[in-house]
Amino acid sequence: MPRESYQDQLEDLREDILYMSELVLDRLQDALVALESKDDEQARGVIEGDDEVNQRYLDLEKQCIDLIALQQPVASDLRFIAASFKIITDLERVGDLAVNLAEYTLDAGRDVFPEVDVQAIGDVTAEMVADAMSAYDREDTAECRAIAARDDELDELCQDASEMVVRDLIETELEDGNVERLMADVSRLLLTIRDLERVGDHAVNIAARTLYMVENDDELIY
């Protein structure tokens, strides 16, 4: 009976982490919508909701520590708990990046470089996180490797977008009164692209930890 209880605790941990990922992805999607529509109210909702993400992270951290301390897991169970501990850290940081996007929304005054499709890049990153969590749930190592490969495509998208911003800035005829505001908008857009690229990096981290958890393979970690 105690062993069955232990296995139930492991499964509860997995389910709780999947729930946290849904919460974080909701925050990320809300931040992207707010950024695109310049919805200050929705942006503030993302910012205010970060406390819930942080509290869930702390609760899950305690679950992981208690399982290690009280159950003394070995082999695959230990890898599962260790990987889960790392994954919740990545999820918490994705939540922080969603807050960054929401804060950029509050700072944005107007459309700058509308040809840069931030929403499309954001959709790619959110999909990568969702797929990484699905791979964690199903212990799908093939998907883990596919996510790592997709990160190269995301990096290229982000690089192209950043270069487009810089190129258009160079070609823009600046008036003295517009320089300061334009530079602030450019900086915000470049930070947005950078943060979305980081979301993709966290998706790869999740995939890497899942691969290690299932196959004891650190191929994607380093």
- Percent of the chain beyond pLDDT 70? 92
The reported pLDDT for the residue numbered 108 is: 72
The reported pLDDT for the residue numbered 9 is: 94
Q: What is the rounded CA–CA span in Å between residue 69 and residue 194? A: 38
In angstroms, the first-to-last Cα distance of the chain is 40
Q: What is the rounded CA–CA span in Å between residue 95 and residue 88? A: 10
How sure is the predictor about 1, in pLDDT bands with cuts at 50, 70 and 90? very low
Q: What is the pLDDT of residues 130-141, one digit of tens each?
A: 999 999 999 999
- Helices (DSSP H) in the chain: which residue ranges? 2-37, 40-48, 50-71, 75-107, 118-138, 141-171, 179-215
Nearest to 104 by CA among 49, 53, 32: 32
The reported pLDDT for the residue numbered 186 is: 85
The structure tokens 């998706």 sit at 203
> What is the pTM (predicted TM-score) of this model?
0.92
| CB atoms closer than 10 angstroms to residue 43 | 25
Checking if the pLDDT of 222 tops 80, the result is: no
- Give ∠ CA 102-22-66 in degrees, rounded to 5: 110
What top-level class would CATH report for the domain 2-215?
Answer: mainly alpha
Q: What is the pLDDT of residues 10-53, one digit of tens each?
A: 999 999 999 999 999 999 999 999 998 889 999 999 999 999 99
Checking if the pLDDT of 218 tops 80, the result is: yes
The reported pLDDT for the residue numbered 3 is: 56
Q: What is the rounded CA–CA span in Å between residue 29 and residue 125? A: 10
Q: What is the rounded CA–CA span in Å between residue 192 and residue 41? A: 19
Q: What is the pLDDT of residues 77-99, one digit of tens each?
A: 999 999 999 999 999 999 999 99
Residue 172 or 61, more confident: 61
How sure is the predictor about 109, in pLDDT bands with cuts at 50, 70 and 90? low
Q: What is the pLDDT of residues 147-202, one digit of tens each?
A: 999 999 999 999 999 998 888 777 766 555 567 777 788 889 999 999 999 999 99
